């Protein structure tokens, strides 16, 4: 499919976006060298029509999976159907599967908006800003339905992975699951998943949510000659996905753990009345080594 891209640039980096593909980021790279700072999206990825092949997309009005075919709201049950062909659970909300509108676009800034009716009415806004090699992403939702409901937010960036890629991101606990079920309890972070100091990504598959995150992380790419110093607001959790044999990994700042709608106390979710909102921000500062 043909996709219209928006282009932004600052002195050091340039960025392309695809509003109609779930407000996805397509490529973010260093102007002087063409070095990819997020996973590179080629023409085939762009024409695939799915944000899952691109560099980053917003997660609203929830992140990751929800079990039991929906969740309870104060005024009744909110049913949810699976929204992909390969997963039995509805995943990552509905914003990533809809076309967004361009409200503003200049050399260094863009504002994208989505008026959604699925699975309930909300307004989502993504503000994108480049400044001196820093990519700023600010995601906001406003609830528009009459009935109050639970919200969560996240961002889903894909980062290049090299043999010497290193990560720093502290966490107090990791969410684990009983066999065949979604995560339901927290445990101490095992040594191989502990990134309290800069260290290489594990060789085994990781696909877990981590809690007690203060919102700071560093992604260092020695062989590619740069690091990203990152900070988040509105996110006390992150998801780390490291598949085997792939040239990427995902570090996702999120407001809540997987299946929070069915966990005691609904950790990280917010019950929004009509007109109320919540926000999540993520900053990625490029620095050459």
Torsion 256-262-265-269 (CA) sign: positive
Spatial separation of the C-alpha atoms in residues 28 and 34, rounded to whole Å:
9
Give me 235's structure tokens. 């996110």
pLDDT confidence of residue 1: 75
| DSSP notation for 181-199 | S---EEEEPPGGG-EEEEE
Task: Look up tokens 């062909």; give the residue.
Answer: 85
If we measure between CA atoms, which residue out of 272, 235, 240, 225 comes closest to residue 255? 235
Give me 55's structure tokens. 């560099």
Alpha carbon 40 to its chain's center:
16
Flag whether the pTM goes above 0.85.
yes
Task: Look up tokens 């790279």; give the residue.
Answer: 29
Sheet holding 6-9, edge to edge: 6-9, 13-18, 24-30
Spatial separation of the C-alpha atoms in residues 83 and 89, rounded to whole Å:
8
pLDDT tens digits, 205-232: 999 999 999 999 999 999 999 999 999 9
**Residue 36 gets which letter from DSSP?**
B
Give me 200's structure tokens. 């290489």
Cβ pair 239, 254 in contact under 8 A: yes
pLDDT confidence of residue 2: 81
DSSP-assigned beta bridge partners for residue 195: 169
- Mean pLDDT for each 10-residue chunk of the chain (289 residues)? 93 98 98 98 96 98 98 97 96 98 98 98 98 99 98 98 98 96 97 97 96 98 98 98 97 98 98 98 98
Residue 104, H or E segment:
strand 101-105
What residues contact residue 217 under an 8 Å CB cut-off, 6+ apart? 167, 168, 169, 230, 231, 232, 238, 251
Spatial separation of the C-alpha atoms in residues 35 and 33, rounded to whole Å:
5
């Amino acid at each position: 499919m043909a996709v219209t891209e928006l282009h932004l640039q600052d002195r050091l980096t340039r960025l392309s976006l695809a509003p109609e593909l779930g407000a996805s980021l397509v490529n973010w790279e260093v102007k002087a060298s063409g070095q990819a700072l997020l996973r590179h999206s080629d023409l085939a990825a762009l024409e695939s029509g799915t944000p899952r092949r691109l560099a980053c997309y917003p997660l609203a009005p929830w992140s990751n999976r929800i079990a039991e075919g929906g969740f309870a709201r104060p005024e009744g049950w909110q049913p949810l159907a699976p929204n992909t062909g390969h997963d039995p659970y509805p995943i990552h909300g509905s914003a990533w599967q809809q076309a967004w509108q361009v409200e503003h676009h200049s050399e260094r800034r863009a504002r994208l908006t989505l008026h959604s009716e699925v699975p309930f009415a909300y307004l989502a806004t993504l503000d994108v800003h480049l400044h001196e090699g820093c990519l700023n992403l600010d995601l906001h939702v406003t609830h528009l339905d009459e009935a109050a409901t639970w919200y969560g937010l996240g961002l889903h960036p894909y980062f290049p992975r090299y043999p010497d890629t290193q990560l720093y991101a502290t966490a107090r606990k990791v969410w684990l699951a009983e066999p065949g079920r979604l995560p339901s309890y927290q445990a101490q972070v095992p040594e191989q998943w502990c990134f309290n100091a800069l260290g290489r990504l594990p060789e085994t598959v990781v696909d877990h949510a981590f809690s007690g995150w203060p919102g700071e992380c560093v992604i260092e790419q020695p062989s590619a000659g740069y690091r990203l110093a990152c900070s988040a607001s509105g996110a006390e959790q992150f998801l780390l996905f490291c598949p085997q044999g792939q040239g990427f990994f995902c570090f996702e700042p999120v407001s809540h753990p997987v299946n929070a709608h069915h966990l005691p106390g609904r950790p990280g979710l917010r019950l929004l009345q009509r007109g109320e909102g919540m926000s999540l921000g993520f900053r990625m500062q490029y620095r050459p080594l």
